[in-house]
Amino acid sequence: MPDATDDDALTYAPVGVTRLRARDGDAWRHAGVDAAYRVLAVRHRLVRGGTEADRAALADDVRSWRLHRSAGVGIEADGPAAAGAHVVSVLGAGPVAMRGPCRVLWADAEGFGYGSLAGHPVAGEEAFRVTRDAAGDVWLEVEAYSRPVLVWARLAGPLVPLAQRAYVANLARAARALHRRRARGRGAGAGGTMPG
């Protein structure tokens, strides 16, 4: 994927590994992600015994940034997640807000993956997917590989993975709340909508 400008240059390599759906440490390493990167692979159940419509609606929440915004993340984007789109995630407020500029690398029916641009506190890639297993349970899956680049992120060291896991747990809570609101809108008699 060629970079259009310096502002569009991704800050890490290899690019595109989240598209491969790596599932364990060895798979990440075989894909070229070296030991300088921390790997995150987290899965939260959102709905027990959900329908494909439940999964599709939650995946749309992910691609439209509705999930992130519902979780309290500021999102600066011109539209939904689509390959090539730029987005800035904003955590916090005012002069202490952490801004994370990224470019969306891929988007599909399950979610999207994006990579860091200059100014992001970490260099790497992250994917957000909503999947449904054979039992019908709907899951939020987040996979990432990253390394700190800004001084404060490097100093945070072992706290960074804890913060990443807390961030994903917060997204999962927000996803369940979005699902419950949608289920209430369909009426109390709708089946397959028990939160996980």
**Residue-range definition of the domain harbouring residue 142:** 8-186
Measured between its terminal Cα atoms, the distance across the chain in Å is: 38
Residue 27 to residue 25: CA distance in whole angstroms = 5
Average pLDDT over residues 68-80: 94
Residue 175 domain-assigned (yes or no):
yes
Res 2: pLDDT: 32
Residue 1 to residue 6: CA distance in whole angstroms = 14
Residue 67: give its domain's CATH number.
3.30.530.20
The per-residue pLDDT for range 138-181, each reduced to its tens digit, is 999 999 998 888 665 555 667 777 778 899 999 999 999 999 99
Structural domain total, the chain: 1
* Poorest-pLDDT segment among 38-47, 49-58, 68-77, 87-96: 87-96
**Nearest one of 101, 110, 124, 13 to 57, comparing CA atoms:** 110
Res 168: pLDDT: 93
Q: Which helix or strand (DSSP H or E) is residue 63 part of?
A: helix 52-63
Residue 3 domain-assigned (yes or no):
no
Average pLDDT over residues 112-121: 92
Res 155: pLDDT: 59
Residue 192 domain-assigned (yes or no):
no
Strand order in the sheet with 194-195: 74-77, 86-91, 98-107, 111-116, 122-132, 138-148, 38-48, 194-195
Res 124: pLDDT: 93
Q: Are 143 and 18 in contact (CB under 8 A)?
A: yes
Residue 167 domain-assigned (yes or no):
yes
**Nearest one of 176, 156, 158, 161 to 44, comparing CA atoms:** 176
Res 121: pLDDT: 84
Residue with tokens 């809108």: 185
Residue 43 to residue 112: CA distance in whole angstroms = 15
Is 60 exceeded by the pLDDT of residue 39? yes
Average pLDDT over residues 120-149: 93
The better pLDDT of the pair 190, 163 is held by 163
